[in-house]
Amino acid sequence: MPMQVVNGAVLTCSFGAAPSNLAVLPLNRVQTGYQLAANIQDHVPMTIHHAVWMCACPSNPQVAAATTAALGVLTPQPCIPVTPAPWAPGSATVELGNQPALDDVSTLSCTWGGVISITSPGETSDQIP
C-alpha cells in the first residue's frame, strides 16, 4: 500500500543529477508524523523543491544551447522544472484540501521531458489506500 508523502520527501528527476526535497506549503494545514502532508496540487516549481537540478535532458533549451556550444557533447545545465500539471495519479480514496492526497507511487511530468518521482515519502507510518 502506498505511503503518504509529506514535507521533506526526497524527489528525483529522471534527467536530474541529484535528489531534492519536497517543500509543502501550509495551505491545507494537515499534518502527519509532525510534517505537512502533500496533495497532488503541490507541484508549483520553486515552491515544491529546495534545489535547482542539473538537467541532462536534450529538449531543455538551456541544455540544447550548451550542448550545441560544446560541439555536440551533452552539457547538463541548471534547471527549474516546468511542471504545469499536478502529480498523478494520487490517492483514489484520501483527500487533503479537496484534492487527492499525494502518495509515493505518484509521478510528476516536466515539460522538458523528465519525470519526477518520489524516492522517499518522508513518512513511514501512514499508508493511504
Domain ranges of the chain: 1-124
pLDDT one-digit tens code per residue, 79-89: 888 899 999 99
Assign domain 1-124 to a CATH class: mainly beta
Phi (first) and psi of residue 110, to 5 degrees? -100, 140
Mean pLDDT of 115-121: 95
Better pLDDT: 1 or 104: 104
Cell numbers at 83, concatenated: 511542471
Helix (H) or strand (E) holding 67: helix 61-69
CA distance 76 to 17: 9
**CA 28 – CA 111 distance, rounded (Å):** 26
Note the pLDDT tens digit of each residue in 27-73: 777 888 789 999 999 988 777 666 678 999 999 999 999 999 999 99
